[in-house]
Chain A
Amino acid sequence: MRPGLPVLTVEGLSKRYRRRVILHGVSFSVGAGEAVAIIGPNGAGKSTLLGCISGERLPDSGEIRVCGTNPFSDLGAAARCTGVVAEQPFLYGELTVGEMLEFIVEVRRRHLPHVAQEVIRLLRLLGLEGAEGALCRELSQGMGRKVAIIAGLLHRPSLIVMDEAFNGLDLPSADRLVEELAERRRNGAAVLMSSHDLHLLARICGRGLLVAGGAEVTPLSGAEWERWRSAPSLGLNVAGARGSHQPDQQNS
């Protein structure tokens, strides 16, 4: 995908859970090669927003287009284009890491013949070599997350959606993953990520979206982002957002 072309377009997205409005009229786009941070306090709707984009949450209204396709009507095309690392990774507990990845490779292979080699590279990158025989249910939180990251990245998606994907990763692995994401961006992939590790977001992302609660999502202007990026733990006041927002400093 050429740099700058939108990989993801969200128009007028609204979502409510029963009577509680979580997102209302959210619009933004993410271009190829961009990395966008989703920031906001707990319960503001960050995961809901990412869930709608990855096709796991059904929006009440609005349109989402991933690589030009609707993730709800053309699941296959959207899944080929998107790599999702969910906040709660799903693993088949009774399978080994090797068996789990084998299944994913089996499903992805039809579209990408070299996906098996990519798995080996990613296993090495995240320090999971030799863990192929371990049962998924016996993995530590960090190792389980690494498996989920490999599952999300191995098909070289154009849009990488990461919801708290760095939680539980050891520092060397996190560093190598940051490098990997930078490399992917240089090759045209877009990254959309949410985390409470504000320094990590500041390091990876070039702009931000503030999910401030009250159903509003506010794009941060370049100046606001740069100001926040230089001191991400100081809090944030954004004109237009309902009330002021103090970013959650947990894990930062």
Chain B
Amino acid sequence: MTQAASSAADRRALLRLARQRLRARVRRPNAGDAITLALPAVLVAGALWSGSAASVPELATRGDAAALGMLLAAAVAFLSYGMLFRAADDPFLRRLGVESRAVYAERAARLLAAGLALVVVLAAYAARAGRIPDQLLPIALVAVLTAWGSGAAATTLAGRAMVTRSPGSGWGCLTVGMWDREVAAAAPLVYAPLIPLLSGGAAGAAAFGTGWPGVGVSLAVALVLARLGARWWEAAIPRFGPQLLEMAFAPPPPAGVGELSVGRGLARLLPRAAAAVWARDGVVTARRFAWATRIVWPVAIVTLALLARRGTDPGTRGWVALAALSVWMLQMVALVGLGRYERGGRRWLDRSLGITPLQRVLGRWAFGWGASLWLGVPLALAWGWWTDAGPGWPWVFVGAGTAAVGAIASVTAAGWR
């Protein structure tokens, strides 16, 4: 059998597997599936239900088209790395001898399907609102296709750069401003999402006024880029897959950093078991999901600066609110990730220690709320001082609310029993 035929057979087997897994998750869902499948479905249904004509993009200018393009491209850019490179079955497929081109093709197809699903949701939203601008679909499709092709290529190129770098060499100007050593070590992967984001926006702007022919052109360009990605992925994967496993290896923390201490500070207010969960979750999250705490600082600094300078501008306040909510959503994702991490059996430690589910939720919520306060407190103070939009203290409780949702989802993902 030729390599091409072998690759095609593998691709068919992988696509069948993906369909089979999705069908199985819908037919026999567990708590994790409910979160990963039902939550987006509920959010989409809610958006469709509450859709109004006023919230459908105007698309009156090229700038509007660029903004819509970037918005859609952002989602594709965000998904690119996770879909192409973070699958848990990499070593398994490798051991089976599945052709790497087939694996790439299947994952790239999933990424494209996710992007096209966004366009369908957008179209459904506009239809539900009773107003579909003429150019909405062509612009959205051009942006998504361009972001898909460039995202697949850029992420793969960055991945290849990560593994073909000679030992000890750095990334030059790419690491300027990166104070965290581990983030600096992965600089190409940090910057890779910018390429689909910007190219999606630019493609959206370019598609303004071109209509459906633009979709054809962008499809051709996207396919060429995706094929380039296939070539780079092929070159990178024999080493990249194993390397990924090693990136997941958590190094021991420096002495004296992040040591677990129970019942210190406000944790004294909690029952002892819940305080222990809080302390444990804090240490585990800081090591496994360090990004959930690192993202706070840039957002907090920019938020303070923006509110101090332009706090009376509703647009600025809207941006700040969106940024804060995004950070808390990401922290919620980390909490859910913690629960999924525990699903492999680690929750039985809590059970054997006699920690009740309620105490787990309480401890996790307290930790989540505490983490949200690093942004919530400065935001609340800045909002109260520099805006004319009422007191800032409700922000503290918005953080508490997202932490509560995250804690419940997390324990649900881990299993209540």
Interface residue ranges, A against B (CB under 8 Å) = 17-18, 51, 54-58, 60, 72-73, 75-76, 78-80, 82, 84, 86, 90, 92, 94-96, 99, 103-104, 106-108, 110, 135, 137, 151-152
Contacts and interface: CB of A to CB of B under 8 A. Distances in A.
Contacts of B97: 75-76, 78-80, 107
Interface in B237-288: 238-239, 241-243, 245-246, 249, 251
B246 A107 contact: no
B245 A57 contact: yes
B100 interface: yes
B6 A76 contact: yes
Interface string B16-27: 110011001100
Nearest to B88: A90
Contact of B242 (A18, A57, A78, A137): A57
A118 B17 CA distance: 21
Interface in B32-80: 33
Given A92-B21, A137-B30, 19 more contacts: A54-B95, A56-B91, A56-B242, A58-B239, A58-B243, A58-B246, A72-B238, A73-B238, A75-B238, A76-B99, A78-B97, A80-B97, A90-B89, A95-B20, A95-B24, A99-B24, A103-B16, A104-B96, A110-B6
Contacts of A86: 91, 95
B333 interface: no
Contact of B249 (A17, A58, A96): A17
A104 B88 CA distance: 16
B94 interface: yes
Given A86-B91, A90-B91, A95-B24, A58 B1 contact: no
Given A72-B238, A94-B25, A56 B243 contact: no
B368 to A, nearest CB: 26
A18 B30 contact: no
Contacts of A152: 95
B75 to A, nearest CB: 25
B235 to A, nearest CB: 11
A103 to B, nearest CB: 5
A17 B242 CA distance: 12
A17 B13 CA distance: 35
Contacts of B94: 55-56, 75, 79
Range of interface residues on B (Cβ < 8 Å): 35 or more
Given A94-B21, A95-B20, A110 B96 contact: no
A82 B95 contact: yes
A144 to B, nearest CB: 12
A107 B30 contact: no
B179 interface: no
Nearest to A89: B92
Contacts of B239: 58, 72
B32 to A, nearest CB: 9
Contacts of A99: 20, 24
27 contacts: A17-B249, A18-B251, A54-B95, A55-B94, A56-B94, A56-B95, A56-B242, A56-B245, A57-B242, A58-B163, A58-B243, A75-B100, A76-B97, A79-B94, A86-B95, A90-B91, A90-B92, A94-B21, A99-B24, A103-B20, A104-B96, A106-B13, A106-B16, A110-B6, A135-B28, A137-B30, A151-B96
Chain B contact residues, majority secondary structure: helix
Nearest to B246: A17
Contacts of B9: 110
A103 B89 contact: no
A73 B236 CA distance: 11
Contacts of A56: 91, 94-95, 241-242, 245
B16 to A, nearest CB: 7
A74 to B, nearest CB: 9
A22 to B, nearest CB: 11
Contacts of B33: 94
A137 B343 CA distance: 11
Contacts of B89: 90, 92
B10 interface: yes
**Among A90, A94, A96, A151: residue with most chain B CB under 10 A:** A94
Given A57-B246, A106-B16, A110-B1, A79 B95 contact: yes
B83 interface: no
The 7 closest A-B pairs by CB, nearest first: A79-B97, A90-B92, A58-B242, A94-B24, A106-B13, A72-B238, A56-B91
Interface in B159-178: 163, 167
A27 to B, nearest CB: 21
Contacts of B88: 90
A65 to B, nearest CB: 15
A5 to B, nearest CB: 22
Nearest to B29: A94
B116 interface: no
A76 B20 CA distance: 24
Nearest to B6: A110
B22 to A, nearest CB: 9
Contacts of B98: 107
A79 B242 contact: no
A97 to B, nearest CB: 12
Nearest to B241: A56
B92 to A, nearest CB: 4
Nearest to B20: A99
Contacts of A108: 96
A245 B95 CA distance: 32
B242 A107 contact: no
A94 B28 contact: yes
A79 B243 CA distance: 18
